């Protein structure tokens, strides 16, 4: 081989090595950025915690209690089925607990409970980074989808303020009395993985009427987008100003 050809071969080899090194560096940076997003979105580690590891948050490994607490679950990419959080779910990832002290790590799904007479309601809310959205299934039958979220900012790790944040995906689903088996699917997962919450509560007592009052805002009203779900439709509306305050009421015929 001539010296000229040898130099060309060496140069080509060095360029190949440099390209591979640059590619590997970009891959590592991308993986690090992805991992940072997962941590911000509630997944502390994809490696399950050991049952012997001391935790500041309780674990629910059997039937889900009616009346709270919030149950934390984990998910990965869009379309993935949710898991529990280790160590309650031995195969689930490590999750960041709520700073409100109002949650427990969920065990392996499906999550089961028995709704008493009068029924129950399942409340699901995203937490941490906004942007995730969920399908809720009961006995493998879809019962609804949480509201459409924005994909900027964070509501924090506490499910209570996240539930009332209009930019966070959440939903309330009523179920009849009897046994239920709940699973959750990630309809949108822009960060690749994360954690969120659900809880089971008694259904509110049935009230058959509404009493409405005219209202006038004291201060300027900020327009907001709301999601409406009832037996007639599932839709979103832009509320420009308040008009009526309607509260659930009971009616009794006096004569």
What's the pLDDT tens digit per position in 36-72? 788 899 998 888 987 667 666 888 888 999 999 999 9
CB 227 within 8 A of CB 117: no
Residue 32 has pLDDT above 80, yes or no: no
**Dist CA 4 CA 34 (whole Å):** 45
Q: Per-residue pLDDT tens for 207-216?
A: 667 888 888 7
How many Cα atoms occupy the beta-carbon half-sphere of 51 within 13 Å?
A: 7
Torsion of CA 33, 39, 40, 43, to 10 degrees: 140
| Helix, strand, coil % over all residues of the chain, rounded to 5 | 15, 40, 45
Q: What is the pLDDT of residue 7?
A: 56
**Dist CA 166 CA 224 (whole Å):** 8
CB 137 within 8 A of CB 203: no
Percent of the chain with pLDDT over 90: 55
Query: What's the rounded mean pLDDT across residues 86-104?
Result: 94
**Dist CA 168 CA 81 (whole Å):** 20
**Dist CA 169 CA 75 (whole Å):** 15
């Amino acid at each position: 081989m001539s010296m000229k050809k040898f130099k060309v071969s060496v140069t080509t080899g060095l360029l190949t090595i440099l390209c591979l090194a640059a590619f590997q560096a970009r891959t590592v940076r991308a993986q690090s950025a992805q991992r940072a997003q997962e941590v911000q979105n509630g997944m502390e580690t994809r490696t399950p915690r050991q049952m012997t590891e001391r935790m500041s948050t309780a674990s629910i490994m059997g039937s889900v209690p009616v009346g709270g607490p919030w149950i934390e679950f984990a998910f990965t990419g869009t379309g993935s089925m949710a898991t529990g959080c280790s160590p309650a779910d031995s195969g689930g990832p490590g999750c960041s607990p709520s700073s409100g002290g109002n949650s427990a790590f969920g065990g392996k799904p499906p999550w089961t409970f028995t709704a008493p007479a009068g029924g129950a309601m399942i409340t699901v809310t995203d937490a941490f980074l906004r942007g995730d959205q969920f399908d809720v299934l009961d006995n493998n039958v879809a019962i609804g989808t949480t509201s459409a979220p924005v994909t900027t900012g964070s509501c924090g790790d506490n499910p209570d303020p996240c539930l009332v944040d209009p930019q966070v995906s959440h939903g309330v689903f009523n179920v009849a009395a009897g046994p239920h088996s709940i699973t959750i699917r990630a309809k949108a997962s822009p960060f690749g993985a994360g954690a969120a919450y659900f809880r089971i509560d008694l259904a509110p007592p049935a009230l058959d009427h509404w009493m409405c009052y005219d209202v006038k805002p004291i201060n300027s009203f900020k327009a907001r987008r709301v999601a409406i779900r009832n037996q007639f439709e599932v839709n979103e509306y832009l509320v420009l100003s308040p008009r009526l305050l309607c509260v659930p009421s009971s009616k009794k015929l006096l004569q």
